[in-house]
Amino acid sequence: MRQFKGHVQKIEDGIVAMVSRRNAMTFTFNFISPVASFDRNFWQGYSTRTVNEAVNNTRVTRIVYEYLGTSTKQVFATTRGAGFCEFDDLPSYHQRLLRPDEPFS
């Protein structure tokens, strides 16, 4: 169930990733571009899901990526804490980049 396949490509001002899950059960199109930050380690953009339109179905949402560096210890510590959380539990910089109260356009 953790098998993902896709294509990643650098474009003029960011990176595009098209990713599908095993047996093409889901497919996403993702775009991220660098954010001006102290370490230039934040990227923001959006992700779209290829599903049929439905009234209560979110198909596009903002995303934020943070480059963690090459420290295996830091990467594993981060993955152990990964998962769903409340918006207020996110670091303030992540909250500012995600802007959940602003419509996606």
Interval 35-61: pLDDT, tens: 987 677 889 999 998 877 776 777 889
Average pLDDT over residues 64-71: 89
Cβ–Cβ < 8 Å for 67, 80: no
The two structure tokens encoding residue 82:
């990964």
pTM above the 0.85 mark?
no
Average pLDDT over residues 82-93: 87
Question: In 13-53, at which residue ranges do the beta strands (DSSP E only) sit?
Answer: 14-21, 27-34, 42-49
Q: What is the pLDDT of residue 1?
A: 61
